[in-house]
Chains A and B, each alone.
Chain A
């Protein structure tokens, strides 16, 4: 018997046959890379981000200064990395605040129903009706612009949206058999909340957390852009963007790098949220 000729497999074909990473993995990978980079800033950056050297102010990109230097001769690569730490710290803090506050808020409304539910949800509606940036400006003007205050204020602002989401998913779960069984078994409210509802809603709340992280970054950048974010000499991406914007005609790169960092992070966060949401919906279908 003559053997059938085996067609040669081209490199392109081999590449095509490789298992494709999911969009979720790619976006999460990029996010992880960004987080690792900014966390490793002291190892990666070769300069103190706040050390001034007027002699090299506005230096262009070079091997010594990859992103160039700013108006005070500070290394922009180091400032973008360290700025990312503060930006992500504030966004992360805000997400935690929003998650804790919003989840408790929404679950309480779902569990108690009636007048308590009405009161809690109408208050969430009222808070959501206030323009976020305006509210944040007033709070930061009153309490000062520290990292903690920024995370708290932004977290509180994002909590009502989380509360709405938490209430909705809690009500859905409460109609499921496992929840009815737990109730029939005589489980106490605390157990229902922590052992039944929370583990079964956390994937959907994670989607909201990713969306919140993106919103927190935008709010922080907006506050920094009007000068009420991180105070000098420290900088966040928003602060760097604001500083760079003043020098668009002198050195456009000054604004571009922090802008790209913000854009990339928010983009990836939104993709992650989108993919997580789609997966969660498929799992429930």
Chain B
């Protein structure tokens, strides 16, 4: 079921790019200005050993094209490769491609493939596999979250060892766009959950959906062989149990450490917290802009003023990340952050006046039951703030499976609801802001001005010129308030001190490809 897979949603995201400029093979013209990610100790690692990585959720399936949750995506770089990939320094680098070349108008891109790659079933990787994979991604029956990102690709053709992409409009960022696209053997999709044919540094030894995946080193990997013999990705009963397992040493690493535990874990001598320098994770409270009361910009601005960001940052997110007073997705420590925007810091008087003008008396917080405690806390803080502004907020927490049915996918009406969510992307504005495009955001924001600015930015190769366009897009978001962004937060990974080579992308995705155990 397409929708069920795509509903992922709290973790809607996790697109994996972090570079700020465009791609970077030796002959590209753009400037990689990536976001350096923090890594665990770079000390020398011994060969061999096993790493047990835990999370509070399980991995339900292995097909990287059908990715539904952010945690699944942590698995995919261990098994599959793309044409391009993200390096620990945040730059986009060649992976299965050796180089890429854009045409003068940035509408045709040619990727040259490595000739020494084989799938684990023995089949040699060819340009036809890349073409077939892209067709599979773009097939209307394929439930992939990358549909919107890949929509500008008009055609993909094989030409010897090259793959040629033709785009419907200029795009200077195609290598970045393709990072999350993993090349699969489309001929063996039927067995992908039992015996996947992979090209990455590990192969699947055992998979129990929703519980664990055991990986072993791929002896035929085309790149530098992995240090570890084995990686075990396991599910903990819940986040509290997961932290206990990490503390006791049962887990070597834990993904998505609860914010409330991070301050204490930082003081543990045997544990390291790995997180990106510039985060790509932002909290998004979505409203339906196509129906009252939030079709009125005053109601949205009022909600922005009624959001006590400092209190939420402290009580719900334990000071992990940054407060977002300008209500825009990009963090203010991002090199792409725009200046000259309205400050929506908590102001109950302004909120009361704007709510009164817009005629808003009551709203509903539509959250998830039993999960995301930070949402529950945020909702209660907002409830108290709104009460002071003369608005009643009813909190309704629903079971996760029924939660998105009200508002997902984009196009649904959910008048008067405030739906907490979060987005995790690379810190680059292309990804951070793409969520607000028409048809993508469940908020139903339909701004042709924003779409035009977005297209203009993507087609602008010069970094400074592109930044000027992104600035205007952010200023528009700041004025129109299509979503509420109270904070930018981080998705941290914790490891034992003897684990080396782990790094985390801006969107919080951990990388264990080069992980090892210290000697």
Asked if B260 contacts A72 (CB within 8 A), the reply is: no
A52 CA / B240 CA spacing, docked (Å): 25
B258 at the interface (CB under 8 A from A): yes
Which residues of B are found within 8 Å of A253, using beta-carbon distances?
none
- With contact pairs A52-B380, A72-B381, A246-B373 given, residues A231 and B397 touching in the complex (Cβ less than 8 Å): yes
A233 CA / B402 CA spacing, docked (Å): 21
A247 at the interface (CB under 8 A from B): yes
Asked if A141 contacts B402 (CB within 8 A), the reply is: yes
Asked if A228 contacts B397 (CB within 8 A), the reply is: yes
A149 CA / B379 CA spacing, docked (Å): 22
Interface core residue of A52, A245, A247, A250 (most chain B CB under 10 Å):
A52
Which residues of A are found within 8 Å of B396, using beta-carbon distances?
144-145, 231
A72 CA / B396 CA spacing, docked (Å): 19
- With contact pairs A72-B380, A248-B240, A249-B261 given, residues A232 and B369 touching in the complex (Cβ less than 8 Å): no
Name the one of B258, B315, B373 contacting A57, with C-beta atoms under 8 angstroms: B315
A137 at the interface (CB under 8 A from B): yes
Asked if A72 contacts B315 (CB within 8 A), the reply is: yes
Which residues of A are found within 8 Å of B368, using beta-carbon distances?
227
Which residues of B are found within 8 Å of A225, using beta-carbon distances?
370
Residue in chain A with minimal CB distance to B370: A227
In chain B, positions 362-408 with a C-beta closer than 8 Å to chain A are 368-371, 373, 376-377, 379-381, 383-384, 395-399, 402
Q: Tell me how far the C-beta of A138 lies from the nearest C-beta in chain B, rounded to whole angstroms.
A: 9
A71 CA / B380 CA spacing, docked (Å): 11
Q: Tell me how far the C-beta of B159 lies from the nearest C-beta in chain A, rounded to whole angstroms.
A: 53
A242 at the interface (CB under 8 A from B): yes
A201 CA / B163 CA spacing, docked (Å): 83
Asked if B376 contacts A137 (CB within 8 A), the reply is: no
Asked if A232 contacts B379 (CB within 8 A), the reply is: yes
Asked if B395 contacts A231 (CB within 8 A), the reply is: yes
Asked if A233 contacts B380 (CB within 8 A), the reply is: yes
Which residues of B are found within 8 Å of A226, using beta-carbon distances?
369-370, 399
Asked if A232 contacts B381 (CB within 8 A), the reply is: no
Asked if B383 contacts A228 (CB within 8 A), the reply is: no
In chain B, positions 343-372 with a C-beta closer than 8 Å to chain A are 368-371
Asked if A227 contacts B240 (CB within 8 A), the reply is: no
In chain A, positions 33-65 with a C-beta closer than 8 Å to chain B are 52, 54, 57
Asked if B371 contacts A227 (CB within 8 A), the reply is: yes
- With contact pairs A52-B380, A54-B311, A228-B369 given, residues A246 and B258 touching in the complex (Cβ less than 8 Å): yes
B264 at the interface (CB under 8 A from A): yes
Which residues of A are found within 8 Å of B381, using beta-carbon distances?
52, 72
Asked if B379 contacts A141 (CB within 8 A), the reply is: no
Asked if A54 contacts B315 (CB within 8 A), the reply is: yes
A231 CA / B364 CA spacing, docked (Å): 12
In chain A, positions 129-175 with a C-beta closer than 8 Å to chain B are 137, 141, 144-145
Name the one of B239, B243, B258, B380 contacting A232, with C-beta atoms under 8 angstroms: B380
Residue in chain B with minimal CB distance to A142: B402
B412 at the interface (CB under 8 A from A): no
Name the one of B369, B377, B398, B399 contacting A71, with C-beta atoms under 8 angstroms: B377
Which residues of A are found within 8 Å of B314, using beta-carbon distances?
54, 57
Which residues of A are found within 8 Å of B397, using beta-carbon distances?
145, 227-228, 231-232
Asked if B264 contacts A250 (CB within 8 A), the reply is: yes
Q: Tell me how far the C-beta of B308 lies from the nearest C-beta in chain A, rounded to whole angstroms.
A: 9
Q: Tell me how far the C-beta of B498 lies from the nearest C-beta in chain A, rounded to whole angstroms.
A: 22
Asked if B260 contacts A247 (CB within 8 A), the reply is: yes
In chain B, positions 90-130 with a C-beta closer than 8 Å to chain A are none
Asked if A246 contacts B315 (CB within 8 A), the reply is: no
Name the one of A54, A228, A243, A249 contacting B399, with C-beta atoms under 8 angstroms: A228
In chain B, positions 222-244 with a C-beta closer than 8 Å to chain A are 239-240, 243
Q: Tell me how far the C-beta of A52 lies from the nearest C-beta in chain B, rounded to whole angstroms.
A: 5
A242 CA / B238 CA spacing, docked (Å): 12
Asked if B376 contacts A232 (CB within 8 A), the reply is: yes
- With contact pairs A54-B315, A249-B261 given, residues A228 and B240 touching in the complex (Cβ less than 8 Å): no
A228 CA / B367 CA spacing, docked (Å): 11
A248 CA / B247 CA spacing, docked (Å): 13
A233 CA / B397 CA spacing, docked (Å): 11
Name the one of B258, B261, B369, B384 contacting A227, with C-beta atoms under 8 angstroms: B369
Residue in chain B with minimal CB distance to A137: B399
A225 CA / B383 CA spacing, docked (Å): 22
A130 CA / B370 CA spacing, docked (Å): 23
A140 CA / B397 CA spacing, docked (Å): 11
Which residues of A are found within 8 Å of B260, using beta-carbon distances?
71, 246-247, 250
Q: Tell me how far the C-beta of A177 lies from the nearest C-beta in chain B, rounded to whole angstroms.
A: 54
In chain A, positions 69-126 with a C-beta closer than 8 Å to chain B are 71-72
A72 CA / B240 CA spacing, docked (Å): 19
Asked if A141 contacts B395 (CB within 8 A), the reply is: no
A177 CA / B239 CA spacing, docked (Å): 62
B30-48 contact mask (Cβ, 8 Å, vs A): 1 or 0 = 0000000000000000000
A202 CA / B260 CA spacing, docked (Å): 51
A226 CA / B381 CA spacing, docked (Å): 21
Which residues of A are found within 8 Å of B239, using beta-carbon distances?
246
A144 CA / B364 CA spacing, docked (Å): 13
Residue in chain B with minimal CB distance to A247: B260
Asked if B243 contacts A249 (CB within 8 A), the reply is: yes
Interface core residue of B311, B370, B395 (most chain A CB under 10 Å):
B370
Q: Tell me how far the C-beta of B370 lies from the nearest C-beta in chain A, rounded to whole angstroms.
A: 3
A233 CA / B396 CA spacing, docked (Å): 10
Which residues of B are found within 8 Å of A57, using beta-carbon distances?
314-315
Residue in chain A with minimal CB distance to B371: A227
Q: Tell me how far the C-beta of A2 lies from the nearest C-beta in chain B, rounded to whole angstroms.
A: 76
Listed in ascending order, the chain B residues whose CB lies under 8 Å from chain A are 239-240, 243, 258, 260-261, 264, 311, 314-315, 368-371, 373, 376-377, 379-381, 383-384, 395-399, 402
Closest 5 CB pairs of A and B: A227-B369, A227-B370, A226-B370, A141-B399, A232-B395
Given contacts A231-B396, A242-B370, A246-B373, list 10 more A-B pairs with CB under 8 A.
Answer: A54-B314, A54-B315, A71-B377, A72-B380, A141-B398, A141-B399, A227-B370, A227-B376, A228-B369, A232-B376
A selection of 8 A-B contacts at a CB cut-off of 8 Å is A71-B315, A137-B399, A227-B376, A228-B397, A228-B399, A243-B373, A247-B260, A249-B243
